[in-house]
Structure 1
Amino acid sequence: MIDQGNMILAYWNEHRQQLRQSESQRSTITNFILVITAGLTGLIVQQQFSSATIPLGILITLIGLYGAVTTAKYHERASYHLSQARALTATLREIGALPDEPRIAEFRKIHYATYPRLHRIRLHWLWTGLQLSISVYGGALSAISILS
């Protein structure tokens, strides 16, 4: 029979794998959106910002908005799985299957001291901001096409 610690550890591992999958999917969708945006931009420029390219600019805007919402959702899922894994870590410590590691807090303090500004920037805001900037870029391309 499997002991309680091993069962909790297996469950912990599942949540960590789901977290990694959310981050991987976020990365993949971002790459797809960047490639699609680059291709549509090339087409708009090739057509010299004619009025026929206005829908392509609007499409880039919509794709950027979709990317922002999707990125936020992947962050929500990753955050959920991280919180579940942290709860299971606490349980493992409580039942004695995982020793308390005081050096983790020490090294965290060293890390924060080394990167006093960067550690405050939330990575998901950078990813969501990238997607929103793609949306604004699509709007700008549409505006240029309208004004041309």
Structure 2
Amino acid sequence: MADKIDVLLAFWQEQRESDRQMENQRATLTNIIVVIISAGLGFLAQKGLQPSMLVVTMPMVVLGIYGVMACLKSHERCAFHMRQAKWLREKISTLHPELEIEDGLRTVRHVQRTRFPLLARTRMYALWVVLHSVIAGGGAVLSGCILIT
């Protein structure tokens, strides 16, 4: 029978891999959206702001909103996996207090927050949400400009 620590480590590794997979999926989706938007903006730059270009600008809004929702969902899933991994880490720490895992991690977090106070508080998912929001907002503004002229 497997040692308790081996079982906990296997579960911990599974949670970390699931978290990594969610981040990779988010990155891939964002890359696809950015490539599509870039192509659309290039096409728009060639043709100008005319009514027929609403077929380019309106999907920008939809893709931006979809990107925001996907980033938020990805963050929710990552938080779920990280909470499980944290619980497992704490369980390992309880079984082997001599490793001082939690104290060491607390020290590292403190040093990191002291060295990078603003960046340590900035959430990565929020930056991705802002990027996708700008895409949606840009599409809305361009669509508005087309409709007004």
Unmatched segments (≥5 aa) in structure 1: none
Identity %: 29
Match of 1:17 in 2: 17
Instruction: Return the alpha-carbon distance in structure 1 between the equivalents of residues 18 and 80 of structure 2.
Output: 10
Match of 1:119 in 2: 120
Give me the TM-score of the superposition, normalised by structure 1: 0.93
Match of 1:44 in 2: 44
Alpha carbons of structure 1 residues 98 and 61: separation in structure 2 relative to 1, 3 Å: farther
RMSD of Structure 2 on Structure 1 (CA): 1.5
Match of 1:62 in 2: 62
Q: Is the aligned partner of 1:26 residue 2:26?
A: yes
Alpha carbons of structure 1 residues 98 and 67: separation in structure 2 relative to 1, 3 Å: farther
- Does structure 2 conserve the Cα–Cα contact (< 8 Å) formed by 1:16 and 1:85? yes
Instruction: Return the alpha-carbon distance in structure 2 between the equivalents of residues 107 and 4 of structure 1.
Output: 27
Instruction: Return the alpha-carbon distance in structure 2 between the equivalents of residues 141 and 45 of structure 1.
Output: 11
Unmatched segments (≥5 aa) in structure 2: none
Instruction: Return the alpha-carbon distance in structure 2 between the equivalents of residues 81 and 37 of structure 1.
Output: 31
Per the TM alignment, residue 98 of structure 1 is displaced from its structure 2 partner at its CA by: 7.6
- Does structure 2 conserve the Cα–Cα contact (< 8 Å) formed by 1:5 and 1:97? no
Give me the TM-score of the superposition, normalised by structure 2: 0.93
Per the TM alignment, residue 39 of structure 1 is displaced from its structure 2 partner at its CA by: 0.7
Q: Is the aligned partner of 1:109 residue 2:110?
A: yes
Which structure shows the bigger proportion of residues in helix conformation?
2
Per the TM alignment, residue 4 of structure 1 is displaced from its structure 2 partner at its CA by: 1.5
